[in-house]
Amino acid sequence: MISIRRKILIMMTVVVSISSLVQAGGKEAYDNAGCAGCHGATGKSMIPLYPRLNGQNAAYIVKQLKDFQSGVRKDPVMSAMAKMAVGKEQEIANYLANQ
């Protein structure tokens, strides 16, 4: 018989590992898409030309990426870069929001 305490501990461990996996996925997607080159490793860009994305509202980031992709928002750099994030918008946004 596994004690109730042990069961809770196991469940908590599973939840923590899943959430760190999701986080790692977001970082991987952000790195693979080449975003860090301009916006910084964790979104804390030090270059005034490139906006800081760390701590930004995830829904806002997703909307901006989709707007760049659809052409509603235009920028010579980001219109192209946003296409690298297709299908990963939410994952990347969650990662940045947590920085």
Binding-site ranges for ligand HEC (CB under 6 A): 33-35, 37-39, 49-51, 53, 61, 64-65, 75, 77-78, 81, 84-85, 92
Q: What is the nearest approach in angstroms of ligand HEC to the Cβ of residue 18?
A: 23
Phi (first) and psi of residue 5, to 5 degrees: -60, -45
Nearer to ligand HEC (CB atom), residue 4 or residue 49: 49
Q: Which two tokens stand for residue 82?
A: 């946003």
Find the shortest distance in angstroms from Cβ 15 to ligand HEC: 27
Shortest reach from residue 42's CB to ligand HEC, in Å: 13
Where do the H-state alpha helices sit in 4-88?
Answer: 4-32, 36-39, 58-70, 78-81
Using the CB atoms, write b or e for 67-83: b if 16+ within 10 Å.
Answer: ebbeeeeeeeebeebbe
Compare residues 65 and 99 and give the one whose CB is closer to ligand HEC: 65
